[in-house]
Structures are given as C-alpha cells and as structure tokens.
Amino acid sequence: MARKLAALAAALSAGTLLLTGCANPSTGSAKDDPTKPVTLKFWHGWSEDSEVKAIDASIARFEKLHPNIKVKATGNVTDATVNQALRAGGGDAPDVVSSFTTNNVGQYCSSGMWVDLDPFMKKTGLDKAKVFPKTLLDYTSYQGAQCALPLLADAYGMYYNKDAFAQAGIKRPPRTMSELRRDAVKLTKRTKSGGYERVGFMPNFRLYQNSPDRFLAQWGPSYFDKDGKARLAKGKAAKEFYATTGELVRSQGGYGPLETFRTSFGDEMSSQNAFLTGKLAMHMDGEWRGLFMKGAKFNWGTAPLPVPDDRPETYGRGYLTGTVVGIAHSSTHQNAAWELVKFLTANTDQVVAFANAIHNVPSTKAALTSPKLDSDPTFRAFLDIAQNRYSTALPPSINGGQYVVSLQDFSYGVEAGKVHDLDAGLRKLDDEIDADNLQAQN
C-alpha cells in the first residue's frame, strides 16, 4: 500500500513539475555586445508595397550606420502572431517587434513580454522626455514601465468630398456635431427603391476605422478613475456620444438600411473603399488614407472631426494612436536590438524620411517641426490634430485592449437599439471591464 502511495505521489510530483516546467518560456538577456556581428529578427505589420519599401529603406540606412548588425525583417505580422511567438519562445522568435495598435501596450508591459526600455535609454543617454511628446510616451508605457516607444503616430480626422459639398451648397466642413448631422442629411442621396446612392456620414461602428473609441475621443472621455476602476457610466461623454451617433443614424434613414448599404462596400484598403467610390461624402480615417486617395475621381479635403456643440474651443482635436516598437523578452541580443529601436524611433532624419514615405505622423518633437516634413496641406491637417492640446489617446490597461473590445461589443448593441437603459448598460459595462482587469492581475 505504502509503495503504491509512494508511486502515486511520485507520478503527481512529476506531473506537476512537467506542467510548471512547460509554463516557463525562454528568457533573453541584455549581456550582448552591440558592436559584435549579429543578425536581428524584426517583425512588423506593414504589407503594402510602398510601405514595405519604406521600412526596408529604413533598415538599409540603419545597416549602413551599424555594419556589424544585419536585420532580417518580416512584414504583415499581426499582434496575435507576435503574442503567440513570444509566448512560445524558441530560436525563431523575433528580437524587435512592432504593433500597429497602442491598445496592447499595457499587456505587453505588465506581462513582461516586451522588456523595459528605460535601462537602455539610461545606458545610451536618450532623454525620452526631451525626444517624445508626452501623449505618445503615455501610450507606450504602463505603470512606469516604458516597454515600447512610438514608431510614427496616427491621428484621426475627417476626409470629405469637396465636389459633393459644392453640389449640396455646403461651404466648409462641419465643426460641431449639429453641423455634422445637418450636412450629413444634405449629402445623403437615396435611390428610388429606398436604398442609398450615397451616405453623408456613416457612424456605424463596424465601418472600417469607425471603432467607437475613435469617435468618442471628440468628447474627451475618462475611461478609468485614479484607482483604475472603469468610469464610463459616471461621466457624460459616453452618453452624449451615443445620443449623437444615434441621431446621426436616425436622420439618415436608420440602422438597418445603413447596415445593408455598408455590406455593399468594398475592402477598406482597396480601390473599392466606400469613400473612394463616392458612397460616403464624409469619412473618419487616419492620415495614411491620403496615400490611398491618389486615384480619386473627385476633389477631396481633410479637416478635424467635429466636436460637441457645447465645447467649440476643442475643435481641432482628434484621436491619437500609432505604431509602437519594442524588444522581445526572449531576445538574447537586446543591446543590439536597442540600437535598431533607437534608430527607428529617435533619429530625426530617419523619422522624417519614414513619415514622408508612408504618410504617417512623426513621433518625435524634432521631427514634428522639421522643415523636411511633407508640406501637403491634406497631410498637414493631421499634424495639427496630433499637436492639438485636446487630442487624446487611449489609456493603457493591464488587460491590453480588452476594455476597448468590451466597449465595441456594447456599442454594437446600442447602435442596433438593443440597449434600452443606457445608464444601466454603461454601469454593467464598467463592471465587466473591472472584472476583466481583476482577472488579468496576478
């Protein structure tokens, strides 16, 4: 009996050891000499030919400055792939990683998946407060851990069809939400069968970049209080936002017909984009859209998105986000990796050249004021949005972008008319976000 018990105990111990052993992914180090020959693996998300060409040119400039460091770049990599590769570890995992969203930075920092860059900045004398704007530093750190740095920023504004505006007798883009609704109605054209030929402004949350957090930025919401508890139900921003988007939807024919029209749109990044084909007269998008507008058969312009009627002084604001870059925890070449990160994020000439090439907002103070920056006025509008003092970014969270996902889900219900008590719904949403964040804590 004793022998059987001992065997059982041994088997259970072995099982537990095996389980905990599997639970420890490989760890890297910052003991490497960045002047020694090394090949770095760099994963990024760019996939368009012009963008890949631009990042490859950036890497070539880096390799010229650092002949001992070769960079093997892999493009079109999603956050999900990065997440899984760094958790699985192994020899093929990347050294330097980038993400197109700031949403997950909180998770990358708190989980230790991307290493803290402050020691590297200290070692090489980079004063981050002098180099990067504060908003961008905020969205690349979490609770004091600067595990990422901004690699160009994105600002959101409005693209509008100047020809459609002229036909409708509208002189300038709307600046307040009531002007937006009035213009949207004027610009909406229905077909005889009750469908749409063109929609003035479609606020539906599943349209391309219309994630609710982006338009909500015009109300300057507070997502969390000082204790980190969700507080969307407590402020008035969310309620006013849903009231405005609801009015916009109703005034242009209702959610169902608009959704049916939306399903006829082509891919966002193709020539069948609904704004490019004239199905939308006004459209919220990021500064990069300008690159895709080359073949437009109409005159177009850019402007900041309208603001609530009672806060006209905030006109010019917009939602900010951007590409972020960091070093994988499993990299064994972290000092060499830092040289690449530092070059891509803090070298003014490099940042300006890359921003011009892919039509993104530069992410350093020096680059933002550089005379070499693209002078196209449709692009300049976004530089102004990026520098507007009322512009905001999403706060980082331990749970990454999970609270944004929860907000999206809730918003889909609101726009479909399924949330009958908005206050109660927002309170429930706050509880859900708090429960998710608690669950993510150790």
Partner 1 sequence: MATLTNAPALRRKARRERLRTLGFLSPWLVGFTVFFGYPLIATVYFSFMHYNQIKAPTFVGLRNWRYVLEQMPLFGPAMWNTLWLVVVMVALRVVFGLGIGLLATKVKSGVGFFRTAFYLPYLAPPVAATVAFVFLLNPGTGPVNDILGSIGIHAPNWFNDPAWAKPSLVLLSLWGIGDLMVIFMAALLDVPKEQYEAADLDGAGAFHKFRYVTWPSITPIVMFAVVTGVVQTMQYYTQALVAGKLASGVSIGPGSVIQPGYPDHSTLTVPQLVYSLGFQNFNTGAACVLSLVLFAIAMAVTTLLMRKRAGLLSADD
Q: Which of 359, 286, 352, 269 is nearest to 321 (CA)?
A: 286
Cα separation, 241 vs 311, in Å, equals: 13
Nearer to partner 1, 24 or 375 (CB): 24
Cα separation, 383 vs 133, in Å, equals: 13
Contact present, 403 and 223 (Cβ < 8 Å): yes
Contact region with partner 1 (CB under 8 A), list: 117-125, 159-167, 254-262, 299-307: 254-262
Residues near 51 by beta carbon (within 8 Å), at least 6 away in sequence: 357, 358
395: exposed, middle or buried (Cβ count in 10 Å: 0-12, 13-18, 19+): middle
Q: Which of 8, 68, 142, 37 is nearest to 441 (CA)?
A: 142
Using the CB atoms, write b or e for 287-317: b if 16+ within 10 Å. bbbbebbeebeeebebbbbbbbeebeebbbb
Binding to partner 1 in span 276-335, by CB under 8 A: 323, 329
Nearer to partner 1, 78 or 143 (CB): 78
* Closest CB 282 distance from partner 1, rounded Å: 19
Of 112, 119, 254, 417, the one binding partner 1 by CB under 8 A: 112
Q: Does 90 bind partner 1 (CB under 8 A)?
A: no
Q: Which two tokens stand for residue 120?
A: 């590297």
Size of the site for partner 1 (CB under 8 A): 64
Contact region with partner 1 (CB under 8 A), list: 75-83, 230-238, 302-310, 334-342: 75-83
Q: Does 167 bind partner 1 (CB under 8 A)?
A: no
Q: Does 260 bind partner 1 (CB under 8 A)?
A: yes
CA distances to 13, 23, 81, 114 from 20, rounded to whole Å, are 11, 5, 24, 22
Q: Does 49 bind partner 1 (CB under 8 A)?
A: no
* Closest CB 429 distance from partner 1, rounded Å: 9
Nearer to partner 1, 191 or 299 (CB): 191
Of 163, 259, 374, 384, the one binding partner 1 by CB under 8 A: 259
Binding letters toward partner 1, positions 180-219, x by CB under 8 A: --------------------------x-xx----------
CA distances to 303, 312, 350, 367 from 373, rounded to whole Å, are 19, 29, 11, 8
- Give the interface with partner 1 as residue ranges (CB under 8 A): 15-16, 18-20, 22-25, 45-47, 76-80, 83-84, 86-87, 99-101, 103, 107, 111-113, 206, 208-209, 256, 259-265, 267-269, 323, 329, 399-402, 405, 408-409, 412-413, 416, 418, 428, 431-432, 435, 439-442
